[in-house]
Amino acid sequence: MLLDALHRDAAVPARDNPEPAAPPRVEARPQAPQRGLAVTVRDLHKSFDGNPVIGGLDLHLPGGSFTAIVGRSGCGKSTLLRLILGLEEPTSGRIAIEPPPGTPPRAVPPRRIMFQEPRLLPWARVLDNVAVGLTGMGSRGERRDRAREALREVGLADKAGQWPATLSGGQRQRVALARALVSGPGLLALDEPLGALDALTRIEMQDLIERIWRAQDFTALLVTHDVAEAVALADRILVVDGGRIALDLRVDVPRPRRRGDPDLARLEGRILDHLLGTPQAA
């Protein structure tokens, strides 16, 4: 139902557009039903058994933004994500998650995470797995209808009655995406969700995630060690090193982005130089 509303709203700006020649996809960010949660992190510290993993990190993510966090293994990027999602308790510091102004307290959209593994329940059919995303919301019939809609969104409507074991890795990850999105989240955290997929499936999934993000206006936070993926998807890239933000870059390349775009390649090179510690190109 929520998805329908979004489709309808998405059509409105296109009709009012003074320049009919402009490609509608670029203009079509919906204005009315803002639900992207804003995230503010202040002086965040987290240590495990006395070993600091995050040390004094500050961060603000505006509602509806798409941010990627990159960094070497063990730099604390996944921990930061889990802290923001509330899966871990900070040692000290503050994390504030704010809905768009004027949101009634009961209508605050949920936070969702997509893990590196799909984590589907093997004993539940695909449709019921998606409906897990609506746990505690609405009646069983409503949950199933919305789950069906979300499955259609990720292109797996025909797999609704199958067991997860019969799907390919990419399809399972798409089911996990549908489960994360079915409740209309305000924040979607992606913890290297495409790391285990082959290169082509990965590109397809990136396009799917981008398309759905543009249609649904949630705040997206992607943790990845694939710099090309970060550059292709995000508006902003944070390089985390030693539990702090070492580099904060805007990606001002218009969407839809073409793979192999020279601007993207330049950015990717800059980030890789930083990560590998070679002297920065001007």
- Residues 6+ away with beta carbon under 8 Å from 40: 59, 60, 61, 94, 95, 96, 98
Q: Could you tell me the smallest distance in angstroms from the CB atom of residue 123 to other proteins?
A: 4
- Which residue, 102 or 136, is less far from other proteins as judged by CB? 136
Long-range contacts of 147-152 (CB under 8 A, 24+ apart): 147/178, 147/182, 149/3, 149/4, 149/182, 150/3, 150/178, 150/179, 150/181, 150/182, 151/126, 151/127, 151/175, 151/178
Q: Does 135 sit near other proteins (CB under 8 A)? A: yes
Any contact of residue 87 with other proteins (CB under 8 A)?
yes
Could you say which residues in the range 178-217 bind other proteins, by CB under 8 A? 179
- Which of 133, 170, 186, 243 lies at the binding interface for other proteins (CB under 8 A)? 133
Using the rule CB under 8 A, is 122 a contact of other proteins? yes
Closest contact distance (angstroms) between CB of 151 and other proteins is 17
Give CA–CA dist 203/26, Å, rounded.
20
Q: Given the rule CB under 8 A, which of 60-68, 114-122, 213-221, 270-278 is the region that contacts other proteins?
A: 114-122
Q: How many residues does the chain have?
A: 282
Q: Tell me whether residue 28 or residue 87 sits nearer to other proteins (CB atom).
A: 87
Which of 55, 62, 91, 115 is the binder for other proteins (CB under 8 A)?
Answer: 115
**In the beta sheet, which residues pair with residue 94?**
42
Question: Binding pattern to other proteins, positions 45-84, x when CB under 8 A?
Answer: ----------------------------------------
From candidates 88, 117, 149, 263, binder to other proteins by CB under 8 A: 117
> Where in 144-183 is the site for other proteins (CB under 8 A)?
163-165, 179
How many residues of this chain bind other proteins (CB under 8 A)?
20
CB neighbours of residue 148 within 10 Å: 17
The answer to whether 88 contacts other proteins (rule: CB under 8 A) is no
85 binds other proteins (CB under 8 A): yes
Cβ partners under 8 Å of residue 20, min gap 6: none
Q: At what angle do helices 169-181 and 199-216 cross, to 10 degrees?
A: 10
For 45-99, the DSSP string reads: EEEETTEEEEEEEEEEE-TT-EEEEE--TTSSHHHHHHHHHTSS--SEEEEEEEP
Q: Residue 34 contacts by C-beta under 8 Å, 6 or more apart in sequence? A: 63, 64, 100, 217
Looking at the Cβ atoms of 56 and 86, the one nearer to other proteins is 86
Member of 8, 26, 123, 168 binding other proteins (CB under 8 A): 123
Which residues sit at the interface with other proteins, rule CB under 8 A? 85, 87, 110, 112-113, 115, 117, 119, 121-124, 132-133, 135-136, 163-165, 179
